[in-house]
Structure formats: C-alpha cells, structure tokens
Amino acid sequence: MSCRLCRLCEKATRAVPGEGNPQAEVLFIGEAPGKNEDLSGKPFVGAAGKFLDEMLASINMEREDVFITNIVKHRPPGNRDPKEDEIETCFPYLDQQIQAIRPLLIITLGRHAMNRFLPGFQISKVHGQAKRVQSIFSSKQVIYPLYHPASALYNGSLRPVILQDMKKIPRLLQKLKKEQEG
C-alpha cells in the first residue's frame, strides 16, 4: 500500500493491491487500476467490474470465490497503458501474491497481463485457450488469457466471445483438480 518504487504512485490516490479469497483456485489478473479503482482501492469496481461480476455469475462464481488483482498496483496517469518498466517494478508484488495464493488457474484479462506470462502471443489468437508455462513453483502453471472486460464495453461483439471463453473455465478447473490429485 505504501509502495513508492515507480512513478505511478506519484499521481495515484492509493494502491490497489487486489482482493478476494486468499485460498482461491482462480486468480484473475488485469492490467492496471482505473479511476474508480484508484478512488476505492479495490480492483474492477467500475463498468468493467460490473461485467466481470456478470462473467463470474455466468459460471456460478462470485468475487468471494476468486482473487482479483492487476499487473501494476497504481493507476497510470490519464488511464494510459502501463509501461514495461512499471510492470517490471511492480511484478515482485504480483509474484508474491501468486506464491501466497498458489492458484490452479491464472486468468489474464487483456493483452498487458497476458504478455507478462505469454510474451509474443496475440490476445486475438489465444483468448480462451489454456497454456502451460514454467511457473515460480518449478512446475507448470496454467494461464488462461481472456479479453479484458472493458473491451466488451467498447466493442459489443466481444461480449459473447468473452462469455463463451468463461464457460470453459469450470471444465478446465475440474481437469486441473484431477491432475493435482493424480
């Protein structure tokens, strides 16, 4: 909450570290806090957050079932995209969150979050496809990229695509749980 390691803290009202279930099987990672998040200190509370709630409800989940955070923890000025050095500076915090929560599934929301885990991929080509990557736990971590909920607000044709990608999550979680047990 008191991080001063990069320039993002200079104009932000407060840090938005994330919230949710610390034992969640699913970790959602967005890009950066927006204006409403900066004011409240909570992730995804604006219009994109309302759609995220709808996305969760479509698979019988609630915010209390998951953990939600962002790649960077302070709002970039003017709602610009986070810069690479800001992402790098903030990543140790996200890394600590991942280590503490140990989710079965990391769902990235948008291209900036996806690129942190799946560099070189295009969201338009890999959304809704689970990818295994080397994780911080020296095992494979499953990353599931989705379009950012805000993208559906700007491009209505993405709404059904995002909801269809969400519908794959329960089966994917079931498969991951079986792998973990076996």
State mean pLDDT over 21-48: 92
What angle (nearest 5°) sits at the alpha carbon of residue 43, between those of residues 39 and 47? 80
Q: Does domain 8-181 have CATH number 2.60.40.420?
A: no
Confidence of residue 108 (pLDDT cuts 50, 70, 90): very high
For residues 50 and 25, the answer to whether their CB atoms sit within 8 Å is no
pLDDT > 80? residue 170: yes
List of E strands, 76-164: 105-109, 131-134, 140-146
Tell me the per-residue pLDDT of 127-152, one tens digit each, with 9 for 90 and over: 999 999 876 555 678 999 999 999 99
pLDDT > 80? residue 182: no
Summary count for the chain: helices (H), strands (E): 9, 6
Please report, rounded to a whole number, the percentage of residues in the chain having pLDDT higher than 70: 90
Confidence of residue 8 (pLDDT cuts 50, 70, 90): low
Q: What are the extents of the domains in the chain?
A: 8-181
What pTM did the predictor assign?
Answer: 0.92
